[in-house]
Amino acid sequence: MDDGWYDEAAGPLVRPYAITAGRTPASAGAQLDVATQVMTLRSAETTDGGLTPEHLKIKRLCQRPLSVAELAAHMNLPLGVIRVLCGDLIERGVVIVRSPAQRVEAPDRELLQAVLDGLSNL
């Protein structure tokens, strides 16, 4: 029998709400920005009990730091689902997260005008 009825264009067989059991971001996952870096803890290398295949894939992918957005792209899942799954892993102590670097404020207008005036005088 030919199993060729399914292809990549059909989309995932398991819908995102089924992956998260209908949950929205947990308290730990709710604070995750798309640029937040996620990394697996070395001490969690043997903690696989009760983890879903999606959790295990995140654990494997995050051996090196990845952002929440990168995880979503690698796993082909919506950001909300990744936030829920990462929240689960944070609560279990499997991964840690680091906030993205704080943005530096843009220089004020007076400083930029002084630089422009100085360049014009050259």
What is the per-residue pLDDT for 65? 93
- 5-26 per-position pLDDT tens digit: 555 555 556 566 566 655 666 5
* Number of domains comprising the chain: 1
Check residue 43 and report its DSSP letter.
Answer: G
Q: What is the CATH number of the domain that holds 65?
A: 1.10.10
Give every CB contact of residue 58 below 8 A, 6+ residues apart in sequence.
Answer: 38, 71, 75, 82, 85, 86, 89, 95
4 falls within a domain: no
Q: Is the pLDDT of residue 89 over 80?
A: yes
- pTM score, two decimals? 0.64
Looking at the domain assignment, is residue 7 inside a domain?
Answer: no
Read off the tokens for 3: 């199993």
For residue 107, what pLDDT is reported? 78
91: CB partners within 8 A, 6+ apart: 26, 28
For 24, other C-beta atoms within 10 Å of its C-beta total: 12
Q: Which pLDDT score, from 0 to 100, does residue 108 have?
A: 84
Residue that is written with structure tokens 């292809």 in the block: 7
Domain that residue 61 falls in: 13-121
